[in-house]
């Protein structure tokens, strides 16, 4: 089956955001150039790993002799984006595999998000591949935008449920399995 590629070479906006309350939030990666908007679903873990990988890649590039690419150490204030996800929020696909690459020719970080495979309906589909076209999101971000993207994503991921000091698991609003001597 063919792959449907959604490419954003110099996006006006690229963010991770959520819908829902902590404990039942749904994470989205959203990119927009002009009126062209796409939202793809992803796991909280995907978002966290992606933000870590972006920061790590930028830090490694910055550490190169003479920092030839002008990699910022902090998020440029003019690139901070704390706005909610754009509407209408229509999930194009759910992310399966993701990759991150550096393009020195354009001095951009490139995110590749591949659609998660659907359920296999028959043995023949295993041999021939999926019946439906698969989605691929390609987002190319300049280094300052990438630093801002990682910062926001870390904040969004960290804004969930508080962690239990005893077991380290998230504490649900309706209770938790650990008990404290003087209450929760």
User: Tens digit of pLDDT for each residue in 1-27?
Assistant: 678 999 999 999 999 999 998 878 999
Instruction: Decide: residue 143, CB within 10 A, 0-12 exposed, 13-18 middle, 19+ buried.
Output: buried
Residues 44 and 27 sit within 8 Å (Cβ to Cβ): yes
pLDDT, residue 108, reads 95
Does pLDDT of 123 surpass 80?
Answer: no
pLDDT recorded at residue 100: 97
* pLDDT tens, position by position, 73-115: 888 889 999 999 999 999 999 999 999 999 999 999 999 999 9
- pTM (predicted TM-score): 0.82
CA distance 104 to 138: 16
Provide, rounded to the nearest whole percent, the portion of the chain with pLDDT above 90.
62
Which run of H or of E encompasses 36? strand 36-42
């Amino acid at each position: 089956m063919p792959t449907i590629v959604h490419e954003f070479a110099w996006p006006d906006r690229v963010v991770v955001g959520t819908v829902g309350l902590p404990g039942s939030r749904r994470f989205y990666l959203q990119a927009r150039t002009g009126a062209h908007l796409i939202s793809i679903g992803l796991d909280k873990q995907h978002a966290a790993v992606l933000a870590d990988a972006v920061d790590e890649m930028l830090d490694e590039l910055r550490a190169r002799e003479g920092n030839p690419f002008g990699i910022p150490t902090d998020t440029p204030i003019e690139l901070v984006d704390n706005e909610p996800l754009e509407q209408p929020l229509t999930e194009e696909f759910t992310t399966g595999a993701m990759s991150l690459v550096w393009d020195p020719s354009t001095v951009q970080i490139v995110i590749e998000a591949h659609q998660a495979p659907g359920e296999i309906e028959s043995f023949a589909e295993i041999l021939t591949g999926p019946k439906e076209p698969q989605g691929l999101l390609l987002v190319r971000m300049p280094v300052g935008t990438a630093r801002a993207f990682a910062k926001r994503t870390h904040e969004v991921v960290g804004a969930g449920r508080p962690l239990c000091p005893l077991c380290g698991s998230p504490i649900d609003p309706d209770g938790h399995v650990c008990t404290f001597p003087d209450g929760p």
